[in-house]
Structure 1
């Protein structure tokens, strides 16, 4: 349900008053609104994919090192 022009104007006045009165709180509210509306969702999704990709490569690398160490142990035994 969309806001009427009058309601949007009143909300804008409230936001301006909040920014003047408590800028830190206004920034935090704006950040929460961005997350809830999904405008920052792509950023968080990209970070999670990057995190997962990094960990997968670390697991693969660890597996390769373990295999190489096992081969070295068999060869030198």
Structure 2
């Protein structure tokens, strides 16, 4: 649900006051908002592409762990 015009105006006033009072914090908040909106990467934080990327990396890590465990088992068996 979107914000009403009055709510957007109040939010803009709060953002402006924050920028005047603490510019560093305002920059950090803007950076967080940019990351969460997916503006920097072109991906939504929990979108399909991000989920697919994460799934692929998790399976890669699992495969490496299984391979290392198998090699250790073989080393112990042959020792």
- TM-score bracket relative to the smaller structure: 0.5 to 0.7
| Aligned ranges 1:29-44 → 2 under 5 Å | 29-42=29-42
More helix, by proportion: 1
Structure 1 residue 41, shift from structure 2 partner? 1.6
Q: Distance in 2 between matches of 1:38 and 1:9?
A: 24
* 1:5, distance to aligned residue in structure 2 (A): 0.1
- Structure number with bigger Rg: 1
* C-alpha distance in 2 between matches for 1:5 and 1:42: 28
Q: Provide the residue aligned with 2:26 in structure 1.
A: 26
Per-residue deviation at 1:42?
A: 3.3
Q: Note the residue ranges of structure 1 that are not aligned, 5 or more in a row.
A: 44-77
Partner residue, 1:2: 2
Structure 2, unaligned runs of 5 or more: 44-79
> Secondary structure of the equivalent of 2:39?
coil
After TM superposition, what 4+ stretches of structure 1 lie above 3 angstroms from structure 2? none
Q: Aligned pair count?
A: 43
